[in-house]
Amino acid sequence: MSELFSPIELGPLKLNNRLVVAPMAQYSAEDGAHGQWHKAHLGGLANSGAGLVMIEMTSPTAEGRCSHGDCGLYDDRTESALAETVALLRAVGPARVGVQIGHGGRKAAMQVPWNGGLALTSAEGAWPTMAPSPLALGSGPIPREMEPKDIRALIDAHAQAAARAVRAGIDLIEIHAAHGYLLHQFHSPVTNKRTDDYGGNSENRMRLLIEVLQATRAAAPEVAVGMRITASDWIEGGLVPQDAVALARSLEAAGCDYVDVTSGGIDPAQKVEVGPLYQVDFAATVKSATSMPVRAVGMIATPEQAEDVIASGKADMVALARAFLANPRWGWWAAYRLGANPSLPVQAQRAGHPAWAGWQMADPALKVC
């Protein structure tokens, strides 16, 4: 039996398998709200074979968006748009639906990648950014150092976004504290030079992440709540795997349902060693030190790779992004390769394996179910 296609529980949420569509920024929101692209993109992934589909990073404030094309969840309009997307996913596929909540911090107010990805100019509608410390990202503008009132407002904004997500029908909320965004900026000594209760030693730098989790948990007690954390800044003086272990233990004690372990994104000077499964060992390190479920990411491309991550005990789940962009039915293929039966809608069962011989023609390694 495939371990990848076995069920798992994340707090109150039960998933029918351990395959996750990772949150993927589409830079196609309409003033923070989901548009037609999101419905087509995410709707197609509801029948991908994954047990959970994650909606891209969504800012709890308008100013926290990384670009004009980023999603937000900070008013009735953005909440209504999210609810429409969730309703569509419910109608067309069996996957459960999660949303990732995150604030860009000094990575906010940028151009969309295909327009250059640099800091927005005033003519392009730039807005002021804020961060734990007034340190620019590369040649970008210097963000305003957050005051205590800004920190309190950020915590409250996360709680309000969580409540909106619940009303919109979300099954799971993932707090983004990695990839160089605001909560990661607080956690990393590379970007946090504060001397108050939110800076300095590791416990202080983790403080805001724990408080955001607690506020989110309180605002959304009926859904699963997890956090995406970093295990390496890939830069001297930055976060290392043991920092992720310490954070994961604190999150577990505070009521976190799972962690997604990733790395990088804090500074342009990083030296990331990219390769197949290059972040899986980070997840394994965290999993060995905690009892809550751990999700692995990072160039997991084949069904056999995904299966081995779970079967070897390195992680409890895997999340894939580009693989699903390339093949929105990646989960079906993986199930057939691993001898499992994906849940196909009745409209697609004529294309199931072995009902359609084309599967075997395209991939002779498929197992007969």
Q: Name all domains of the chain by residue range, CATH numbers in brackets.
A: 8-362 (3.20.20.70)
320: pLDDT strictly greater than 90: yes
Alpha carbon 69 to its chain centroid, in Å, reads: 17
35: pLDDT strictly greater than 60: yes
User: Band of the pLDDT at 30, cuts 50, 70, 90?
Assistant: very high
331: pLDDT strictly greater than 80: yes
What integer is the mean pLDDT of 216-243? Answer: 98
- Concerning whether 181 is annotated as a catalytic residue, the answer is yes
Query: Using one digit for the tens of pLDDT, what is the confidence trace for 52-98?
Result: 999 999 999 999 999 999 999 999 999 999 999 999 999 999 999 99
369: pLDDT strictly greater than 60: no
CA 136 – CA 144 distance, rounded (Å):
10
169: pLDDT strictly greater than 60: yes
Write down the pLDDT at residue 51. Answer: 98
Write down the pLDDT at residue 125. Answer: 96
What integer is the mean pLDDT of 99-128? Answer: 96
User: Band of the pLDDT at 355, cuts 50, 70, 90?
Assistant: confident
Q: What angle do CA 199, 204, 206 make, to 5 degrees?
A: 110
Write down the pLDDT at residue 368. Answer: 58
Write down the pLDDT at residue 231. Answer: 98
Which residue in the list 181, 198, 258, 336 is annotated as catalytic? 181
What integer is the mean pLDDT of 332-340? Answer: 94
CA 4 – CA 229 distance, rounded (Å):
22
Helices (H), the chain: 36-45, 76-92, 148-167, 182-187, 202-219, 241-253, 280-287, 303-311, 322-326, 330-337, 358-362
User: Band of the pLDDT at 361, cuts 50, 70, 90?
Assistant: confident
Query: Using one digit for the tens of pLDDT, what is the confidence trace for 205-218?
Result: 999 999 999 999 99
263: pLDDT strictly greater than 60: yes
Average pLDDT, the chain: 96
Tokens of 327: 């093949």
Q: Which residues of 197-222 are buried (b: 16+ CB within 10 A; e: fewer)?
A: ebbeeeebbbbbbbbbbbbbbebbee
13: pLDDT strictly greater than 60: yes
The pTM score is: 0.97
DSSP state of 146: P
18: pLDDT strictly greater than 80: yes
Residue bearing the bigger pLDDT, 363 or 319: 319
CA 300 – CA 67 distance, rounded (Å):
28
